[in-house]
Amino acid sequence: MSKAISIIIPTYNEGGNIVPLVGRINKAMSAYDYEILFVDDDSKDDTAANVEKLSKTYPVRIVVRKNERGLASAVVHGILNTTGQKVLVMDADLQHPPEVIPSLVKALEDGADIVVASRYVEGGGCQEWGLFRKLVSRVSTIIAHVFLPPTRSVNDPMSGFFMFDRKVVENAKLQPRGYKILLEILMEGEFKKAVEVPYTFVTRDQGESKLNIKQQLEYIRHIYSLMRRKGELWRFIKFCLVGASGIGVNFGIFALLTRVGGMKETDFLALAIATEVAIITNFILNDIFTFRDRRSSGHFLTRLLKFNVICVAGALVQAGVYALLYHAIGIHDLVSYLIGIIIATLWNYLLNTWITWR
């Protein structure tokens, strides 16, 4: 008979963690009907032997993949080789405390489709993380939130500790790469309600992390792959093209007002009118071209007003970045200006996809 909860744990050289991990899961899960499937990529240590030993006492088993490597693909392999209606994914190295699992189960029973154990909600966090790793994690999260809007349903889409109802992935074509399997499920899965439960990412005691530079680059390629598959790449390109057209409009109106309209080139009003017209044409183009599928997110005029406010703020952001880089730090003026434009574009994209066209 199928177990109610399938716990999938990818492993690579986690020999020293298996026994304490299974013990703690079993204690935390004593009230539930569960199984554990380890998906191992041919570890060079005693990972498999330890699982085999425990399988006499606990509902645990292991599949060993000989020709494949990768955390995310191992999890997909696990999903395909289990049948529990509820699926839980976690790491083997005890950085994800098993004692948190019951609260994930509870949230799922309360009606969520996906429950993420999160470092980035009230009560969550990371134990002893250096500034650098914290920064990398935050920036990675922001990249996902900016370019893959559906991931905004959770604060910690990078978490490797989560649970979901199997129906979420029933029709999903999962094509993960690298480490971030939750990203793939949030983008390709079907769900209504995603919730987060806080937890603290504990420092590793046994073994070592397999996360390296190659995995970080793989992450960028994964984001790119998801953007392509989901039409978000094309959307971002359209947004940039519309922005570029706005520069032409802005320039043209300014020239018209000062050469034909009789306004002075020093007149702030000429600059303000030209900018405002460009904002409005940008809005109209984006509305029918870039965000055609999201026009139901409010009245036309409300969307226009939101877009307008965000873009004016974006211009201030650009000026602020320029002031900081050029005046305060002393970076080359054109480089500072270009960075200002890039940051303002990302600002406009993030806020407009967040607020104007939800």
Phi and psi for 68 in degrees, rounded to 5? Answer: -130, 150
The number of residues that bind ligand GDD (CB under 6 A) is 25
Structure tokens at 137: 């994690």
Could you say whether residue 92 binds ligand GDD (CB under 6 A)?
yes
Residue 260 CB contacts under 8 Å (≥ 6 apart), including other chains: none
Quickly list DSSP for 88-140.
EE--SSSSS-GGGHHHHHHHHHTT-SEEEEESSSTT-EESS--HHHHHHHHHH
Interaction pattern, residues 200-229, with Mn ion; x per rule: CB under 5 A: ---------x--------------------
127 vs 209 by CB, closer to Mn ion? 209
Q: Which helix (H) or strand (E) holds 37?
A: strand 34-40
Q: Which helix (H) or strand (E) holds 6?
A: strand 5-11
Residue 77 CB contacts under 8 Å (≥ 6 apart), including other chains: 39, 63, 65, 68
Could you say whether residue 93 binds Mn ion (CB under 5 A)?
yes
Task: Look up residue 23 and give its amino acid.
Answer: G
* Site for ligand GDD, residues 140 to 179, rule: CB under 6 A: 158-161, 179
Q: Is 236:357 a contact under the CB 8 Å cutoff?
A: no
Residue whose tokens read 């050289």: 13
Piece in contact with ligand GDD (CB under 6 A), picked from 5-13, 19-27, 237-245, 262-270:
5-13
Which one of ligand GDD, Mn ion, none is in contact with 159 (Cβ closer than 5 to 8 A by kind)? Answer: ligand GDD
Could you say whether residue 10 binds ligand GDD (CB under 6 A)?
yes
CB of 137 to Mn ion, least distance (A): 13
CB of 255 to ligand GDD, least distance (A): 51
170 vs 208 by CB, closer to Mn ion? 208
118 vs 286 by CB, closer to Mn ion? 118
Task: Look up residue 291 and give its amino acid.
Answer: F
Which one of ligand GDD, Mn ion, none is in contact with 322 (Cβ closer than 5 to 8 A by kind)? Answer: none
- C-alpha 190, offset from chain centre: 16
Could you say whether residue 39 binds ligand GDD (CB under 6 A)?
yes
Could you say whether residue 14 binds Mn ion (CB under 5 A)?
no
* Site for ligand GDD, residues 68 to 87, rule: CB under 6 A: 69-71, 74
CB of 10 to ligand GDD, least distance (A): 3
142 vs 269 by CB, closer to ligand GDD? 142
183 vs 195 by CB, closer to Mn ion? 183
Could you say whether residue 60 binds ligand GDD (CB under 6 A)?
no
Burial 31-62 (b: 16+ CB within 10 A, else e): eeebbbbbbbbebeeebbebbeebeeebbbeb
Question: What's the burial of 225, exposed, middle or buried (CB within 10 Å: 0-12/13-18/19+)?
Answer: middle
Task: Look up residue 53 and give its amino acid.
Answer: K
Which one of ligand GDD, Mn ion, none is in contact with 41 (Cβ closer than 5 to 8 A by kind)? Answer: ligand GDD
137 vs 153 by CB, closer to Mn ion? 137
215 vs 258 by CB, closer to Mn ion? 215
Question: What's the burial of 73, exposed, middle or buried (CB within 10 Å: 0-12/13-18/19+)?
Answer: buried
Question: Which of 3, 6, 11, 322 touches ligand GDD (CB under 6 A)?
Answer: 11
- Residues within the interface to Mn ion (CB under 5 A): 93, 95, 209
- Residues within the interface to ligand GDD (CB under 6 A): 10-12, 14, 39-41, 69-71, 74, 91-93, 95, 158-161, 179-180, 201, 209-211
